Structures are given as structure tokens and as C-alpha cells.
Amino acid sequence: MSKQIKVTEANRQKIMAELKSVEKRCKARLATFADVLNAVELAESNPVLAILPKKDWIGATATYHPGHGGGIANSYNGVPEETKIEIIRRASGWFFVTSYRRSCAHSARSNVTVTRAMADEALDRFLQSVSVTA
């Protein structure tokens, strides 16, 4: 995918078309528009971003996998895959960047990446908000 799509209800069909293009012959562990909204919600609840004002979120990225729960049958032939979603924060909101199929992760459902400047600013704001006693 070359063009990023703003995550809004108006763009639901465009995002779903992108997801469907990745999941052509897949029948399990699929992503939906609700999963894209969950990716945004989880990214915004990240502790670093929660400290910063939204104007400073620009450039933050998040990778999300729906994690549909449940185990995988022992009779499953091969390595099971699931759809993963990538989003990025721009000045006007969150944008859907891409989706792809990868082996199922047994890790956190969301991974947020921030710039060094964002992390430093969040740390400064946190340290200003607490008082440390000896």
C-alpha cells in the first residue's frame, strides 16, 4: 500500500478493502475495521503518549494484531498466521499505513514506537509531576 488512509468512519470501506486485499484466501484470524479502531485506542493509552499533549504525538507508530484468542489446533498444518495492522500518528489524526499476514504472536497485542524526543519530553513531564522525598 502506498497511500495512508486516515482512520475515520468515512474511510471504513477503504480500510476494509486494504485488509481484504491482504486476506484474500484467508479464513481465520482476520482483521476488521473495529480492530483498526482498537489499535488506535491501545496506542493512545500508551503511557508515554498519555503524558504528552496530542500535538506532540506526531510520528508515533503502532503495530497491532487482533489476538482473537483461543489456541490453535494440534492438527493445524504449518505455521498459523494472523493479520497485523500498522498505524501512524499525523497532525490530523491516526492513519492506517499497512496490514500484512505474519505468524501468530504470543506477545503483547500492541507495540507503540515513539521518537527519542517524545520519550524525553514524556520523562521530563513525568518528573515535573511528582515529588521525590529522601
Q: Is the pLDDT of residue 61 over 90?
A: yes
User: Cα separation of 109 and 68, whole Å?
Assistant: 10
Number of domains forming the structure of the chain:
1
Matching residue, cell 518528573: 127
User: What range defines the domain where residue 72 resides?
Assistant: 5-129
For residues 34-62, average pLDDT: 92
Rounded distance, CA 80 to CA 71, Å?
Answer: 11
Give pLDDT tens digits for 108-131.
667 888 888 888 899 898 888 888
Q: What is the pLDDT of residue 105?
A: 61
Asked if residue 80 is part of any domain, the answer here is yes
Please tell me the predicted confidence (pLDDT) of residue 15.
94
pLDDT digits (tens, 9 = 90+) for 90-114: 999 999 999 988 877 666 667 888 8
pLDDT score, position 126: 87
Residue 19, in any domain of the structure? yes
134 located within any domain: no
Q: Is 20 left (phi over 0), alpha (psi -120 to 50) or beta?
A: alpha
